[in-house]
Amino acid sequence: TTQSGPRHFLDLKDLDATTLRQILDVAAGMKQMQKGRRFPLHPRVPLAGRALGIILSKPSTRTRVSFEVGIRQLGGDAVILSPSDMQIGRGETITDTARVLSRFVDALVLRTGRTENLHELARAASVPVINGLTPSSHPVQILADILTYEEHRGPVKGRTFAWTGDGNNVLVSLIEGAVRFGFKLRAATPADMAPSQAVLDWARQEGGDVVLTTDPRAAVDGADCVVTDTWLSMSDSEEEAAMRLAKLSPYRVDAALMALAAPDALFMHCLPAHIGEEVTEDVFEGPQSVVFDEAENRLHAQKGLLAWTMGGENWLSFGKE
Ligand code: CP
Ligand code: NVA
């Protein structure tokens, strides 16, 4: 990669396609290596002595546990931090917090309700900062999704993904993933819930094949993978909930919509799911659904990412020992 300074992982668009592919290759190698192996899962513990600080200002199940377990499997330690228990809660700046934590830990994960906080942390930290979800994007989720698709169906390159539902943070990262990994994306959202023009312009500039529509049937038609997410994200106000659910109900993934996709299409959802809202139970529990493989792959994909951020010169060998 040409990036200088710490190996921040803020958005998929910040990394080149080669580095992203290498992260998934290392992830797949480490996953393969640990299957059937008892402790230690890895013959060497390549991140022994390293500490990962995980700052969560929003709830999390998958992100928290997958990063904590992932760093431990590689021989390191995790420190889970909540801003309300830190001096940040009493007004210490993010910049000073970044400078202090950089003296203690070797990388930081941040989940925040304010995208600017992530960038402020990254600017001031001298260690890598990883985006653990902001209202604007969720790049680690898409690493896991691509790993999952490829395990089931082979290379994503040239395939067609469909998104139907809210034009949220996960969709933005899926758009960036489509461009970097070379798959087509058709996204259906209500007109006033579409992703920002900026990310669409970026995708076009980069030569990506990303099409936006308001018609879920047009998006899903013939697709190789159908992806959706909750209709009410952590950053959305509860007051808008009823309005959002009403507007989004035509975008629900049910058996009839899924039947328009390719016969071997997969169904994906980053979880947590709201059955009966964005997806019906038959699809969620059905044979095309790979949602729990996706959840598991958060662990494996992020171990590849931790190798890149903290593994130094030898990170590419992590999946090969
Ligand atoms: N998909 C995901 O990021 O889940 P959590 O909110 O549980 O971390
Ligand atoms: N779009 C959801 C994803 C949760 C993992 C949210 O931001 O709440």
Residue 5 lies in a domain: no
Are 28 and 126 in a shared domain?
yes
Q: Among all ligands shown, which has an atom nearest to the Cα of 271?
A: 1
Are 25 and 75 in a shared domain?
yes
Ligand 2 atom, smallest distance to 169 CA: 1
Residue 321 pLDDT? 63
Residue 1 lies in a domain: no
Residue 43 pLDDT? 73
Coil, strand or helix at 81:
strand
Residue 185 CA to ligand 2 center (angstroms) comes to: 20
Are 176 and 244 in a shared domain?
yes
Residue 308 lies in a domain: yes
- Which one, of 275, 68, 278, lies nearest residue 170 by Cα? 278
Are 41 and 106 in a shared domain?
yes
Residue 243 lies in a domain: yes
Residue 2 lies in a domain: no
Question: Which long-range contacts link 196-205 to residues 24+ away (Cβ below 8 Å)?
Answer: 196/172, 199/172, 199/175, 200/175, 202/13, 202/176, 203/175, 203/176, 203/178, 203/179
Give the CATH number for residue 87: 3.40.50.1370
Residue 112 CA to ligand 1 center (angstroms) comes to: 12
Are 101 and 165 in a shared domain?
no
Are 254 and 312 in a shared domain?
no
Are 147 and 273 in a shared domain?
yes
Question: Model's pTM, two decimal places?
Answer: 0.97
In short, whether 170's Cβ falls inside 6 Å of ligand 2 is yes
Contacts of 48 (CB under 8 A, 6+ apart): 74, 75, 76
Residue 7 lies in a domain: no
Range of the structural domain that residue 89 is part of: 12-137+296-317
Residue 4 lies in a domain: no
Are 284 and 152 in a shared domain?
yes
Ligand 2 atom, smallest distance to 168 CA: 1
Residue 6 lies in a domain: no
Q: Residue 132 pairs with which residues in a beta bridge?
A: none
The count of structural domains within the chain is 2
In short, whether 233's Cβ falls inside 6 Å of ligand 2 is yes
Per-residue pLDDT tens digits of the chain, which is 321 residues long:
445 799 999 999 999 999 999 999 999 999 998 887 877 777 778 999 999 999 999 999 999 999 999 999 999 999 999 999 999 989 999 999 999 999 999 999 999 999 999 999 999 999 999 999 999 999 999 999 999 999 999 999 999 999 999 999 999 999 999 999 999 999 999 999 999 999 999 999 999 999 999 999 999 999 999 999 999 999 999 999 999 999 999 999 999 999 999 999 999 999 999 999 999 999 999 999 999 999 999 999 999 999 999 999 999 998 886
Are 156 and 203 in a shared domain?
yes
Are 52 and 146 in a shared domain?
no
**Candidate of 136, 138, 142 to mutate for ligand 2, largest count of ligand atoms within 8 Å of Cβ:** 138
Are 128 and 63 in a shared domain?
yes
Nearest residue by C-alpha to atom 2 in ligand 2? 233
Which residues are known to be catalytic?
111, 138, 141, 229, 270, 298
Residue 240 CA to ligand 1 center (angstroms) comes to: 22
Are 160 and 224 in a shared domain?
yes
Query: What is the Cα–Cα distance from 127 to 105, expressed in whole angstroms?
Result: 8
Residue that is written with structure tokens 């979800």 in the block: 133
Nearest residue by C-alpha to atom 7 in ligand 2? 233
